[in-house]
Amino acid sequence: MTKIIVRGGQRLKGTVRVSGAKNAVLPILAASLLATEGDSVIYDVPLLDDVMTIQKVLASLGARLTYNNETMRISAPAITSIEAPYELIRKMRASFLVMGPLLARVGKVRISLPGGCAIGTRPIDQHLKGFEAMGAEITLGHGFIEASTPTRLKGAKIYLDVASVGATENIMMAAALAVGTTTIENAAKEPEIVDLANYINAMGGKVRGAGTGLIRIEGVDKMHGAAHNVIPDRVEAGTYMIAAAITGGDVFVEGAIADHLTPVISKLEEMGVEIIESDNGIRVRAGAELRSVDVKTLPHPGFPTDMQSPMMALLLFSEGTSVVTETVFENRFMHVEEFQKMNAQIKVDGRTAIVSGGLPLMGAKVCATDLRAGAALICAALRAEGETELTGLHHVDRGYVDITGKLAALGATIYRVESENEQAAVLPAAAASRAVAASADIPAAVIAASVVSEHEPAAGYKRDKEVTVLKVQPTWA
Ligand SMILES: CC(=O)N[C@H]1[C@@H](OP(=O)(O)OP(=O)(O)OC[C@H]2O[C@@H](n3ccc(=O)[nH]c3=O)[C@H](O)[C@@H]2O)O[C@H](CO)[C@@H](O)[C@@H]1O
Ligand SMILES: C=C(OP(=O)(O)O)C(=O)O
């Protein structure tokens, strides 16, 4: 089994560069389906399993993609399929974000219910409510959703019952090519929403108000490819800030945007961590002693749920008792049991966890129960006594570019042991893809996807040469 080994006790020091944001790049790549002409060039695309998954989804729908050196070039002059494959959609919730663009572009879609981290029930009712308000007819059965619209989608006034990030993004993309104006009330305000709106506007769309609770989208007839730089990953940045604080370290998190991290910075400062903000990143300096604080997760600009488990790791090393309340997802305390294997004293009661800090943690065999839980366990292991062995790395690889390499460069004793029976694992994904792509004219993501994930070529790449490309015509064209 592939695992990460951490030996605790090293103080982190140096500079770590933040990669492009997973949660921004996934909707942005999905939005590329809206462009009928021209290439999009997306910069700072992190080499993550989730990126490989969305790239395969898009290729299966007819898009052409190449990836090299953190740059994805994508065009979708013809949509060749309206069915998003189950094997890919179940892997990752964000693949459901192709529904809005497909409905807007060709007026029909068949898509399986999405997967992703099992941190709650995660319904999609708000996405569907938005599409229905815009004129889509939706049927559900056998784990699939079928949606169609006989004419172009129509602008509508949509109030979201919950400020869902995914629903805001999906509706925004659908509305970009609709007839008339759509308003989204109680829209999510996350920085990734703003990044998507900026990209849609660069493609010729007309989105106003992204980042506030009221977004207005004036539909346009046509969109084109555009160049776009993905924002830095605020959750990855926050994770390294916490890793630095846990070890009493001194780390410059290059690329981190302080405005995106206000709640995390505030909590760290309350705990006694020194934060120095600058134009190109955030420096984090911490002593050995930290104060306990209470944390409650909320939609942006509240404390992000994705930072809840890494924050809990830090609270385990602070003096006193902290109360952590999770309000966004109903099942996001699965990491508690893993922390307990390391001797952590945490009691969970419903959506609240009482964390008794300041007790020594011991290295143990633990498993990543979700993406951020994996990162949180690594953070805790950095200061635990002895050795920690982390499995469940398929979660971690969805969202962190070379976390072992980045932490090792800061002085952590950490390395990855690849399983002998997983051939993929001879080289880390990034290194493997770069090495092979450099020696052959092959998109790096294809190599990574085929070598690391499933031992098969990424879907869609051979399509143009070997399969007659059928164009799916919109019913109203
Ligand atoms: C790929 C991506 O960007 N993932 C992020 C996105 O997930 P995602 O977009 O799935 O999260 P949402 O904002 O949609 O979910 C927030 C809450 O709304 C509920 N809900 C959502 C949709 C819906 O139709 N009905 C409904 O009830 C969910 O169950 C959850 O309780 O935002 C989450 C909340 O910040 C983050 O943890 C995820 O990392
Ligand atoms: C929960 C997350 O991802 P997803 O929404 O893709 O499951 C995450 O990034 O922490």
Give, as one character, the DSSP assignment of residue 247.
T
Q: Considering only residues 450 and 402, tell me which one the structure prediction assigns the higher pLDDT.
A: 402
CA distance 30 to 344: 41
Q: Largest alpha-carbon pair distance within the chain?
A: 67
- CB of 93 within 6 A of ligand 1: the answer is yes
**Percent of the chain having pLDDT more than 70?**
89
Q: What is the whole-number distance in angstroms between the Cα of residue 122 and the centre of ligand 1?
A: 7
Q: Is 290 helix (H, G, I), strand (E, B) or coil?
A: coil
**pLDDT for residue 116:** 57
CA distance 161 to 168: 11
How many CB atoms are closer than 10 A to CB 121?
A: 8
**pLDDT for residue 444:** 37
**Percent of the chain having pLDDT more than 90?**
81
- CB of 125 within 6 A of ligand 1: the answer is yes
Q: Which pLDDT tens digit goes with each residue over 424-433?
A: 433 344 443 3
Residue 1, token pair as written in the block: 């089994």
**pLDDT for residue 262:** 98
**pLDDT for residue 440:** 31
CA distance 344 to 335: 11
**pLDDT for residue 420:** 66
**pLDDT for residue 470:** 64
**pLDDT for residue 113:** 84
Tell me the CB-side half-sphere exposure of residue 223, using CA atoms within 13 A.
Answer: 31
Tell me whether residue 306 is annotated as binding. Answer: yes
Q: Considering only residues 468 and 97, tell me which one the structure prediction assigns the higher pLDDT.
A: 97
117 labelled catalytic: yes
**pLDDT for residue 121:** 80
Q: How far out from the chain centre does Cα 34 lie?
A: 21
* Residue among 42, 57, 76, 117 flagged as catalytic: 117
CA distance 119 to 408: 29
How many CB atoms are closer than 10 A to CB 363?
A: 21
Q: Which pLDDT tens digit goes with each residue over 205-214?
A: 999 999 999 9
Tell me whether residue 360 is annotated as binding. Answer: no
**pLDDT for residue 90:** 83
Tell me whether residue 198 is annotated as binding. Answer: no
Mean pLDDT over 319-345 rounds to 97
How many CB atoms are closer than 10 A to CB 439?
A: 8
Q: Is 150 helix (H, G, I), strand (E, B) or coil?
A: coil
Q: Is 389 helix (H, G, I), strand (E, B) or coil?
A: strand
Domains along the chain with CATH numbers: 3-19+232-417 (3.65.10.10), 22-230+458-466 (3.65.10.10)
When computed from its CA atoms, the radius of gyration of the chain, rounded to whole angstroms, is: 22
Structure confidence at residue 452 as a pLDDT band (50, 70, 90)? very low
Alpha-carbon distances, residue 181 vs 103, 218, 373 (angstroms) = 16, 4, 40
Which of 28-42, 60-74, 89-103, 337-351 is predicted with the least confidence, judged by mean pLDDT? 89-103
**pLDDT for residue 421:** 57
Q: Which pLDDT tens digit goes with each residue over 358-404?
A: 999 999 999 999 999 999 999 999 999 999 999 999 999 999 999 99
Q: Which amino acid is at 287?
A: G
Q: What is the whole-number distance in angstroms between the Cα of residue 371 and the centre of ligand 2?
A: 7
Beta strands in 203-331 (DSSP E): 206-208, 214-218, 227-229, 250-254, 274-278, 281-285, 295-296, 320-325
Q: Which pLDDT tens digit goes with each residue over 162-207?
A: 999 999 999 999 999 999 999 999 999 999 999 999 999 999 999 9
Residue 190, token pair as written in the block: 């996350």
> Which phi and psi angles does 306 have, rounded to 5°?
-70, -15
Output the average pLDDT for the chain: 90
Asked if 329 and 119 count as a contact pair (C-beta separation under 8 A), the reply is yes
